[in-house]
């Protein structure tokens, strides 16, 4: 009985360790692909039209700033986010989550 229990415990530990390693590799590859896509988008937009690239970056910054402002300010009583406020809040949340993901996993891709 002791040998079976020990073997089962060791196999469970190995399976969990291998699963974590595979998940780490997949997340690192995903971060590298996302970083490569962001760099490609920036390069293509700049090579297409630098003025439009700067204008697009300014507009995106404005929308993200509005979303951050709507998230961190106290909402009025009885009012919820509608329309543009909901869209900019969702865009800010998605951008913040993407940034956190890249900070955690992109340094492991060795392309920086």
* pLDDT tens over the chain, length 112 residues: 577 887 787 888 888 888 899 988 888 888 888 888 888 999 999 999 999 999 989 999 999 999 899 888 877 666 666 788 888 889 999 999 988 888 888 887 776 5
What is the distance between the alpha carbons of residues 27 and 105, in angstroms, rounded to a whole number? 7
Specify the pLDDT at position 51: 94
Specify the pLDDT at position 83: 83
pTM listed for this prediction: 0.71
Specify the pLDDT at position 54: 92
Q: Report DSSP letters for the chain, one per residue.
A: -HHHHHHHHHHHHHHHHHHHHHHHHHHHHHHHHHHHHHHHHHHHHHHH-HHHHHHHHHHHHHHHHHHHHHHHSPPPTT----THHHHHHHHHHHHHHHHHHHHHHGGGGS--
């Amino acid at each position: 009985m002791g040998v079976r229990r020990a073997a089962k415990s060791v196999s469970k530990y190995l399976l969990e360790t291998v699963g974590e390693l595979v998940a780490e590799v997949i997340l690192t590859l995903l971060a590298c692909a996302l970083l490569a896509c962001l760099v490609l988008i920036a390069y293509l937009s700049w090579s297409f039209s630098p003025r439009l690239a700067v204008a697009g970056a300014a507009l995106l910054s404005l929308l993200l700033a509005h979303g951050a402002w709507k998230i961190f300010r106290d909402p009025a009583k009885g009012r919820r986010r509608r329309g543009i406020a909901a869209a900019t809040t969702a865009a800010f949340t998605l951008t913040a989550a993407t940034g956190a993901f890249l900070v955690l996993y992109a340094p492991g891709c060795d392309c920086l």
